Structure 1
Amino acid sequence: METPDHSKDALPSAFQEHLGTVAEFYARHNQDLSPAQRAVERISFFLGSPGYVVGNLVFVVLWIAWNLTAPELGFDQWDEPPFFWLQGLIALNAFVISTTVLIRQNRMSTLASQHSHLDLQVNLLAEEKNSKIIRMLEELRRDLPNVRDKSDPEAEELSRPTDTEAVLSIIEASSEQLNCERK
């Protein structure tokens, strides 16, 4: 049985061009990162790993086990129950994790906003192209002698470009109404 070709060359050239554009977008976005942001990204990646969680759990268990058994073994107890120092370390760990997650989340939010803006632009352009294609088909239908010329209200409506300002106004009004209902 032949295995499918998953190489880049197996893709149509237009698709390869789009993949290249997307890759360039991410490369530009990553190129603009400051050294501090790069460090936060690496730290955030590490803090979100299963190994980090397991390491933390092992550390806490060993800390508690040591501090409960140390006096019986003749060693000094670092942290008596209720483990004040361990609670401080866990709180510091939580602070570092939440801060790095928020910093990374802000960057991801900016990236998502750029994606949404790009999606909107592409969708508006596609809508314009679709309207143009429908107008051209309707023109052909009217001009071809062997095609019966009949009125198609749906095609006429679809051939008109969408009034984006009207759509935006409706969305804003709906959003405002929803916000008022929530209050």
Structure 2
Amino acid sequence: MLPRPASTRASVKNIDAILSLEKREEEKLALHHRVFHAIGSFVGTVQFIVVQCVVVACWIAVNAFFADHALDSFPFPLLATILAFEAVFLTSCVLIRQNATDRILEKRDHLELQINLLAEREATRSLRILQKIASRLDIDDEDCRHDELASETSVDQIARDLQERENAGAVER
């Protein structure tokens, strides 16, 4: 097998780190949360719909065709009660799973923001070095002299500008 290029090895390492982080977060969940996650995951599948339809059809068939010994005769009030309870329970499971997913996504967004800020700082530093090299080599480029990309980006200023634009957009609506 051929050795992987360095960029691919770095990508694999990054992917492994993210997967490891997500696995640790999942392991922190209490057992009942993991059970709710599993139920919430299963509910959103075609298999669940098939199982649900088969169970309801069998319930109706058994109670309709064996009316003499029916546990739940037409209009099937027990079935309706069970399905209503199931709907509430499954909705709760899905919401619990969604809340946990939202927390994970918020953490991932925060991590992504931190990485982007570091990348921006590195790019700014690289541009400054390139400008110094160009200056020492007497390369005259008017675009490089006062390049705003080579100056530090103020995250606070960007946040204030964003807030002002959002507020102005809310006023216009």
More deviation in 161-170 or 61-70?
Answer: 61-70
Name the CA distance, whole Å, in 1 between partners of 2:125 and 2:135. Answer: 15
Could you say which residue in structure 2 is the equivalent of 1:170?
161
TM-score norm. by structure 1 comes to 0.81
Alignment-derived partner of residue 44 in structure 1: 40
Structure with higher helix content: 2
Aligned to 2:51: 55
Unaligned runs of 5+ in 2: none
Which protein has greater RCO, CA pairs closer than 8 Å, 6+ apart?
A: 2
Aligned residue type for 2:131? E
Is 1:89 aligned with 2:82? yes
Shifted more, 171-180 versus 81-90: the winner is 171-180
Q: Which runs of 4+ in 1 moved over 4 A?
A: 177-182
Deviations 1:62-103 (A, max 9, x none): 2222333223xxx22333333211111111111111000111
For residues 139-159 of structure 1, what are the alpha-carbon distances to aligned partners after superposition, in whole Å with 9 as ceiling and x for unaligned?
1111104x3x23216861111
Q: Which amino acid aligns with 1:160?
A: S
Alignment of 1:1-183 (within 5 A): 10=4, 12-71=8-67, 75-145=68-138, 147=139, 149-152=140-143, 156-179=147-170
Gaps of 5+ in 1: none
> 2 CA distance for matches of 1:62 and 1:80?
13
Counterparts of 1:181 and 1:89 in 2: how far apart (Å)? 50
Give the TM-score normalised by structure 2. Answer: 0.85
Query: How many residues were matched structurally?
Result: 171
